[in-house]
């Protein structure tokens, strides 16, 4: 696998936490709440399905369809995809346990409007599952693989929604621990690199008409292209290396960009690109951008073409400029997750985990959840 998937950009979605209809040992316990082995099995099935869908969407090719071997693939951090999924499931279980207990001790518990909203949310979630499964019997058959039925699923959604209500109250907009501008600036300075680039396309070129203008494909709405010849590719490389040498020797990068750049999109981002470790761009581009020192230039081959990249200093507050918003769409979510992890840590230390239940075995023996019960992308 080329790169660990930024799971927080991919799972800002609904969290289904499910229970069972048969006797099942408690896997994790906090106060009066517990997650059973079967509940954990269901949640594992859900996230195996979601993660598999995500890695294929973001470029991991599985020629023979689903295979358990995918979970043995390692990311850049050395962990297998299976280990990452198990860690994520455990994290969410902990937050659901603690969040539900916090709900009981907050004003949300006695808020009639909030209780009605909770019931409405649960009704909608259950109805969506019934619709997608096709019938009550079919939904029960799917849930039965994990020792569950619809009635238990309803109680589980109640459990989950309470925990999410607490999370929103504490960390959502206007919440007690809402993200501040000071936190945004701190995160920006610690996690982003600012770069500008020159792109030289070395695989294809636009088809031109007799006037030298690009020809539009009326069916796709895109300009027609054709492969470069070997001679043209060699000339493109020579051009890219020439631009790199000039950039490396300190020539004005803005002027070099005007002369060489084939990426028209750069004109929209006059401050440059803002790159973090989990930015969903070409892996070589991201690695190079993050690894450069300020003022340093590099030559790199990417899936977009040959690129000359130069790193710039992070000027304060550029994250707040509207034209740069596309680069910081996940920043608030990441900050909230960090704050949540820190806040919940003092509670999760009190969670009791059964040593007799092996999550790695559950993971190995649990098939992904039926796609009909997955949220649409």
- Model confidence at 197: pLDDT above 90: yes
Rounded CA gap, 268 and 256, in Å?
Answer: 17
Question: Three-class SS of residue 238?
Answer: helix
> Rg (Cα) of the chain, in Å, rounded?
25
pLDDT digits (tens, 9 = 90+) for 333-369: 999 989 988 999 989 999 999 999 999 999 999 999 9
Angle between helical axes of 253-260 and 230-248 (0-180°, round to 10): 170
Residue with tokens 């040959």, as numbered in its chain: 306
Pairing of strands 225-227, 204-206: antiparallel
pLDDT at 322 over 50: yes
Domain 193-313 bears CATH identifier 2.10.109.10 = no
| Dihedral sign computed on CA atoms, order 340, 343, 345, 351 | negative
pLDDT band of 56, cuts 50, 70, 90: low
The confidence band for 175, taking pLDDT boundaries of 50, 70 and 90, is confident
Mean pLDDT of 60-86: 78
**H-helix or E-strand spanning residue 56:** helix 37-57
35 by DSSP, 3-state: which?
strand
Give the integer Cα–Cα distance in Å for 285 and 329. 19
Q: What is the average pLDDT score of the chain?
A: 87
Q: Quick one: what percent of the chain has pLDDT higher than 90?
A: 59
Among 18-32, 170-184, 293-307, which is the least confidently predicted range?
Answer: 18-32
Least confident of 30-39, 64-73, 267-276, 278-287: 64-73
The rounded distance, in Å, linking the Cα atoms of 123 and 154 is: 8
For residue 288, name the pLDDT band (cuts at 50, 70, 90): very high
> What are the tens digits of pLDDT across the range 77-136?
788 989 999 999 999 999 999 999 998 888 777 788 888 999 999 999 999 999 999 999
| 2 contacts 60 by C-beta, under 8 angstroms | yes
CB 152 within 8 A of CB 126: no
Report whether pLDDT(21) > 80: no
For residues 1-28, average pLDDT: 49
pLDDT confidence of residue 274: 98
* pLDDT attached to residue 140: 95
Lookup: tokens for 132: 């997608």
Name the more confident of 120 and 63: 120
pLDDT at 19 over 50: no
| Residue whose pair of structure tokens reads 């909608």 in the numeric block | 124
Report how many helices (DSSP H) and strands (DSSP E) the chain contains, helices first: 12, 9
Query: Pick the residue with more confidence: 194 or 226?
Result: 194
Q: Are 37 and 27 in contact (CB under 8 A)?
A: yes
Distance CA 164, CA 159 (A): 9
Rounded to an integer, the average pLDDT of 21-41 is 86
User: What separation in angstroms does the CA of 91 have from each of 46, 85, 88, 218, 228?
Assistant: 15, 10, 5, 50, 49
User: What is the predicted pLDDT for the residue at 278?
Assistant: 85
Q: Report d(CA 103, CA 56) in Å as an integer.
A: 37
Q: What is the pLDDT of residues 213-254, one digit of tens each?
A: 888 888 888 888 889 999 999 999 999 999 999 999 999 999
**Residue tagged 């997955």 (tokens):** 374
pLDDT computed for residue 176 by the predictor: 85
Local confidence band at 302 (pLDDT 50, 70, 90 cut-offs): very high
pLDDT of residue 65: 65
Domain boundaries, the chain: 7-180+330-373, 193-313
Supply the pTM of this predicted model: 0.74
Rounded to whole angstroms, how far apart are CA atoms 228 and 305?
12
């Amino acid at each position: 696998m080329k790169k660990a998937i930024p799971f927080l950009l991919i799972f800002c979605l609904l969290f289904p936490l499910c229970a069972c209809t048969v006797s099942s040992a408690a896997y994790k316990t906090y106060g009066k709440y517990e997650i059973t082995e079967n509940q954990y099995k269901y949640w594992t099935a859900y996230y195996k399905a979601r993660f598999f869908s995500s890695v294929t969407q973001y470029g991991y090719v599985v020629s023979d369809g689903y295979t358990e071997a995918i979970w043995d693939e390692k990311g850049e951090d050395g962990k297998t995809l299976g280990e990452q999924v198990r860690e994520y499931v455990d994290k969410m279980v902990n937050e659901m346990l603690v969040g539900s207990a916090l709900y009981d001790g907050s004003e949300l518990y006695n808020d009639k409007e909030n209780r009605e909203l909770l019931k409405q949310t649960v009704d909608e979630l259950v109805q969506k599952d019934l619709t997608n499964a096709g019938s009550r019997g079919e939904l029960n058959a799917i849930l039965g693989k994990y020792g569950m039925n619809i009635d238990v699923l309803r109680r589980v959604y109640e459990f989950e929604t309470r925990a999410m209500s607490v999370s929103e109250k504490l960390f959502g907009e206007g919440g007690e621990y809402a993200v501040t501008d000071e936190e945004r600036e701190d995160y920006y300075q610690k996690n982003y690199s600012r770069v500008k680039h020159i792109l030289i396309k070395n695989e294809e070129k636009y088809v031109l008409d007799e006037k030298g203008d690009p020809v539009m494909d009326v069916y796709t709405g895109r300009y027609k292209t054709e492969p470069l010849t070997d001679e043209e590719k060699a000339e493109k490389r020579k051009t890219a290396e020439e631009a790199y040498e000039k950039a490396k020797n300190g020539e004005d990068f803005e002027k070099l960009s005007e002369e060489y750049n084939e990426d028209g999109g750069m004109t929209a981002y006059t401050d440059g690109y803002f790159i973090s470790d989990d930015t969903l761009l070409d892996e070589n581009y991201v690695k190079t951008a993050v690894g450069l020192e300020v003022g340093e230039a590099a030559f790199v081959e990417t899936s977009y073409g040959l690129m000359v990249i130069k790193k710039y200093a992070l000027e304060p507050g550029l994250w707040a400029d509207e034209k740069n918003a596309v680069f910081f769409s996940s920043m608030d979510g990441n900050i909230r997750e960090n704050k949540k992890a820190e806040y919940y840590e003092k509670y999760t230390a009190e969670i009791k985990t059964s040593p007799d239940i092996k999550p790695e075995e559950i993971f190995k023996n649990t098939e992904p959840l039926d796609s009909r019960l997955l949220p649409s992308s």
